[in-house]
Amino acid sequence: MRQAEGAAALALLDRELIDANSPSPLYFQLYTVLHDAIVKGVLPVGSRMPSEKDLADGFDVSRITARRTLVELAAKGLVVRHRGKGTFVSHADRPVPIVAPLGSNAESLGDLGRDTTLTVLSKRMAVPPPDLQTAFGLGAGTRVCQLVRVRSASGQPFAHYVSWTPKFSASMPKKEFEGASRLTLFERYGLRIARMERFLSAEGASPDVARALNVPSGKPLLKLVRFSYDAQGQLQDHLVARYNSDLFSYRVETKVGLD
């Protein structure tokens, strides 16, 4: 019975996603396959996971790799392991993903009817990278306010923000960045934003971002880079946002004429 349940679960997984020639470790590849199957509900809550032997044979990996993967899933709270009984999915159904219009200020998400919380991980005055020093028109060694924040919905982090803002000061209270949208803060501190440029791409999660978003390192994330300028064309704010694409996406709507 247990063997049949494990085989049934294995049949739901895409074994073609494991590539022995990839530079990504087999452990990480297998973890990603199982992690995504669990959070997307392919392997539902309470279902039996494939055994270490099932995983090793089905994905052509070692038992050590399979064991490490199940241990890591258990450490993340996605599965629970019972000695002599097997491993079972314990992760609850994932929330409905947030979908934001591409042109919106998705950082505040106030227009989406979704309650979210914003947490400041760090606030410091630091020297920005050379390209940003040039873009801001700063002298070498000039320190700028850097913020690192995470936004969560229903207790699950889905967005990681890193921003640089020369007009923000060290004296600004940390709590202020958790209680108001950035556009509100821009107005409050005299930043008149006239134009924004946004650039979308994808990026693997670095270890620090992965920890903040509770995802495996290397997981593909949606990346948004935003430049905010005043009416004179002077850069006032630079933001890099990384989103867990399981929980957040942008929507682009194009109107076309009908003949």
| Residue among 17, 28, 22 at smallest CA distance from 219 | 28
Q: Do both 125 and 214 map to the same domain? A: yes
DSSP element (H, E) containing 132: helix 130-136
How far separated are the first and last CA of the chain, in Å rounded?
Answer: 61
Interaxial angle between packed helices 26-39 and 52-59, expressed in degrees from 0 to 180 and rounded to the nearest 10: 110
Range of the structural domain that residue 23 is part of: 2-89
Residue ending a domain, among 50, 65, 89, is 89
Bridge partners of residue 221, in order along the sequence:
203
For residues 174 and 154, give the distance between their C-alpha atoms in angstroms, rounded to a whole number.
22
**172-206 residue pLDDT tens:** 888 888 877 777 888 888 888 899 998 999 998 89
Output the pLDDT for position 103: 57
Residue ending a domain, among 89, 109, 130, is 89
Q: pTM for the whole thing?
A: 0.67
Output the pLDDT for position 132: 95
Q: Do both 117 and 238 map to the same domain? A: yes
Report the CATH number that the domain containing residue 195 is assigned in CATH.
Answer: 3.40.1410.10
The total of structural domains in the chain comes to 2
Q: Do both 63 and 108 map to the same domain? A: no
| Residue among 163, 71, 79, 151 at smallest CA distance from 63 | 71
Q: Do both 17 and 110 map to the same domain? A: no
Q: Do both 177 and 198 map to the same domain? A: yes
Q: Do both 57 and 114 map to the same domain? A: no
Output the pLDDT for position 104: 53
Output the pLDDT for position 85: 82
Give the SS3 label for residue 65. Answer: helix
**For the range 228-231, what are the long-range contacts, defined as Cβ-Cβ under 8 Å and sequence gap of 24 or more?**
228/186, 228/191, 228/193, 228/195, 228/196, 229/193, 229/194, 229/195, 229/196, 229/197, 230/191, 230/192, 230/193, 230/194, 231/192, 231/194
Residue position matching structure tokens 């942008």: 250
State the sign of the Cα–Cα–Cα–Cα dihedral 31, 34, 39, 45.
negative
Q: Do both 82 and 139 map to the same domain? A: no
Q: Is residue 196 part of a domain?
A: yes
Q: Do both 142 and 124 map to the same domain? A: yes
Residue ending a domain, among 68, 89, 110, is 89
DSSP element (H, E) containing 11: helix 2-11
**For the chain, which ranges sit under pLDDT 50?**
1, 106, 109-113
